[in-house]
């Protein structure tokens, strides 16, 4: 079904519901549907294309941040306080990618600054990384979903170009993916985070493949301490991969 067909159906159902009530449709709802994908399944990775910028101009992290802060492509712009482009080193060894902003991030405009972010900073420091020196931290979506619900498919689709541009510009040596939503979105899979973690895979980024490690989101570690040990194993794997690369 196409997005237009879905919209027509939803509006028909709205009218039907109104007719069985007081007979009036007080406000018209706005819908953000996407076309169903028909045919072959999507590739197992999300290809990162070169940034699309205006003719005669160069892309930059500052330009991406400006575009994110002024973005009105999806419904999340209506409820956000501040968009959260991301922050960190311009030439990172590791790019950390999470799901999306929470309440603290929405208020500050910075990624991973709440309790989960503080834990993430400690996790990174434990293997010699930090957002101040050799990491860049971003999210799959740049605005907070209401009540921290999972982002909807069209929301991640609208935000995808911002993340693609960031990966292209940063060209990180490794990607550390925090949490189920981010890993499933980037790898275009429905596998659980338990199955995706514990190994090094790769994300196709233009003409190169970036080593990719998925692990549990820091917020999950705060809820379940049993996940801390496997998360530590993932971090040690990343540290070993970084050290091995330095030797080559």
**Burial category of 206 from C-beta neighbours within 10 Å (exposed 0-12, middle 13-18, buried 19 and up):** middle
Tokens at 105, concatenated: 């991030």
Q: Tell me, what's the pLDDT at 7?
A: 52
**Inside any domain, residue 203:** yes
Is the CB of residue 3 less than 8 Å from the CB of residue 34?
yes
Assess whether 151 and 228 both reside in one domain. Answer: yes
Assess whether 14 and 100 both reside in one domain. Answer: no
Assess whether 189 and 215 both reside in one domain. Answer: yes
Assess whether 242 and 169 both reside in one domain. Answer: yes
Is the CB of residue 130 less than 8 Å from the CB of residue 176?
no
Q: Tell me, what's the pLDDT at 246?
A: 87
Assess whether 7 and 107 both reside in one domain. Answer: no
Neighbours of 158 (CB within 10 A): 23
Domains of the chain: total: 2
Residue 12 has pLDDT above 90, yes or no: no
Best CA proximity match to 213, nearest among 231, 190, 192: 231
Q: Tell me, what's the pLDDT at 10?
A: 53
pTM beyond 0.85: the answer is no
Judged by DSSP in three states, 195 sits in helix
Secondary element (H or E) of residue 12: helix 3-19
Assess whether 46 and 25 both reside in one domain. Answer: no
Q: Tell me, what's the pLDDT at 58?
A: 86
Report the percent of the chain where pLDDT is more than 90: 73
Residue 45 has pLDDT above 50, yes or no: no
Q: Tell me which residue range forms the domain holding 23.
A: 1-31
């Amino acid at each position: 079904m196409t997005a237009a067909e879905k919209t027509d159906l939803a509006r028909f159902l709205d009218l039907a519901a109104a007719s069985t009530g007081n007979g009036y449709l007080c406000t018209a709802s706005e819908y953000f549907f996407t076309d169903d994908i028909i045919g072959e399944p999507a590739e197992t990775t999300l290809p990162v294309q070169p940034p699309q910028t205006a003719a005669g101009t160069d892309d930059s992290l500052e330009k991406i941040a400006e575009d994110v802060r002024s973005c009105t492509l999806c419904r999340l712009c209506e409820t956000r306080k501040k968009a959260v482009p991301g922050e960190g080193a311009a030439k990172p060894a590791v790019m950390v990618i999470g799901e999306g902003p929470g309440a603290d991030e929405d208020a500050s405009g910075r990624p991973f600054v709440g309790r989960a972010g503080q834990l993430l900073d400690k996790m990174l420091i434990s293997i010699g990384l930090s957002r101040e020196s050799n990491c860049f931290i971003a999210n799959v979506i740049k605005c907070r979903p209401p009540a921290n619900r999972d982002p909807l498919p069209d929301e991640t689709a609208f935000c995808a170009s911002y993340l693609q541009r960031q990966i292209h510009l940063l060209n990180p040596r490794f990607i550390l993916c925090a949490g189920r939503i981010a890993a499933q979105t980037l790898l275009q899979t429905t596998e659980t985070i338990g199955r995706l973690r514990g190994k090094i895979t790769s994300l196709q980024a233009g003409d190169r493949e970036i080593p990719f490690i998925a692990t549990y989101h820091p917020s999950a570690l705060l809820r379940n301490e049993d996940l801390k040990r496997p998360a530590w194993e993932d971090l040690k794997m990343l540290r070993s991969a970084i050290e091995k690369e330095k030797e080559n």
